[in-house]
Amino acid sequence: LIDITAGEQSNPGKGEYLNKAKIADGGKKTRKNWTTTWVVLDGSKLLFYKDSKQQAVTNLKPGCKPESVDLYGARIEWAADKSSRKNVFLITTGSGNEFLLQAESYSTISKWHDAIGKAIECESKS
Ligand code: I3P
């Protein structure tokens, strides 16, 4: 039998709480400020919501948009050197924004790393 509950705790498509810190905006370094954010991988976009409730509200009110990161032309790399925290990777967007994403669990963060990596690869081929 296949365990259908496996992987249910971590699902980039459905969304999950991750720790996020923006460290550059348009190539300019910004002050690092970690916040816990509800992150959803939506095709070629990464969406940052304040919490999972905001995602539900946004779906009802299309005017309330979450912060959205276009993965077209983006890069992803593990970034142990960019933080004292463990399980951190860096996303650099085509427009020069840099985000660190982090989770306490390695299995969680590696799922996100894989999923975002695939989304970027997919974008670069289209
Ligand atoms: C930063 C804050 C961050 C820390 C960062 C500090 O200080 O403590 O949590 O990053 O380290 O500069 P402040 O709040 O005064 O801006 P990590 O938690 O990722 O280590 P850094 O400058 O070495 O990136």
Output the pTM of the full model: 0.89
Q: Is 118 in the pocket of ligand 1 (CB under 6 A)?
A: no
> Would the CB of 32 count as within 6 Å of ligand 1?
yes
Report pLDDT for 66.
Answer: 87
Percent of the chain at pLDDT exceeding 90: 72
Each residue's pLDDT tens digit, 38-49: 999 999 999 999
* pLDDT tens-place string over residues 63-93: 778 899 999 999 999 999 999 999 999 999 9
ipTM of the complex: 0.91
Residues 90-115: tens digit of each pLDDT: 999 999 999 999 999 999 999 999 99
14 pocket-lining for ligand 1 (C-beta < 6 Å): no
**Ligand 1 centroid to 32 CA: how many Å?**
6
- What is the separation, in whole angstroms, between the first and last Cα of the chain? 37
Centroid of ligand 1 to alpha carbon of 8 (angstroms): 32
Q: Is 29 in the pocket of ligand 1 (CB under 6 A)?
A: no
Name which of 104, 118, 100, 80 is nearest 32 in CA terms: 100
